[in-house]
Amino acid sequence: MAAYQLKAIPARFYTTTLDVLALAEQLGDVGLLHTLMQRPYVNGSLAGYWGAVTDQWAPQSPTSCERPDISFWDAGCLLLNQKAYSALHQALAADGEFLPITVDGEPMQVFNCMTWGKEDMSLTEKAYLDGYEDGIATLAFDEADIADKLVFKSQLEAGARLYVSAAFKELVEAHQLQGLRFDPELMDPF
């Protein structure tokens, strides 16, 4: 079973600008900052804190000029416009939660991924620098574990990146959703 790392396309698409401090301020509780910063790793729900949240688009590069159908929103989250939400919400519901947001006046949905993909430790290798553990050199997921998952995170990476199955890629392509690309190289930073 193929897995892909989701990546942005900064040369074409805008991104959002809301950081966790501004989000905590919008939610009316700066004390949430610690919870929001740890959310990707602890796999926490945001539904109990969520309120009327707004954001705005900004270019990722000098050539960014399009609003994406689907993009990233903070670590471990996706941002879906109404077209993407209509196409994906039923399929994604088991892998996380949806939270309403308004981006430059447009109603959208944040998908907070709350699903871990089990790493295949026989194919995953840790990286070392000067004899000390320094991240992951190679990453593979247990195929049986991710067979029924569309979007998932790696605990070894503290939930910092999103990975998807071939089934998710097929759904996105079938609905012609634009904004992200699928990289079969799970650890490639570019």
What's the pLDDT tens digit per position in 52-106? 999 999 999 999 999 999 999 988 899 999 999 999 999 999 999 999 999 999 9
Does residue 39 or residue 81 have the better pLDDT? 81
- The answer to whether residue 136 sits within a structural domain is yes
- The answer to whether residue 160 sits within a structural domain is yes
- The answer to whether residue 178 sits within a structural domain is yes
- The answer to whether residue 122 sits within a structural domain is yes
Q: Residues 66-100, buried b or exposed e (16+ Cβ, 10 A)?
A: ebbbbbbbbbbbbbbbeebbebbeeebeebbbbbe
Residues whose CB is less than 8 angstroms from the CB of residue 190 and which lie 6 or more positions away in sequence, other chains included: none
What Cα–Cα distance (Å) separates residue 91 from each residue in 14, 30, 51, 73, 168?
25, 33, 24, 19, 9
pLDDT tens digits, residue range 100-147? 999 999 999 999 999 999 998 888 888 888 988 888 888 999 999 999
- The answer to whether residue 190 sits within a structural domain is no
Q: Please give the residue range of the domain that contains residue 145.
A: 3-183
- The answer to whether residue 189 sits within a structural domain is no
- The answer to whether residue 133 sits within a structural domain is yes
The number of domains in the chain is: 1
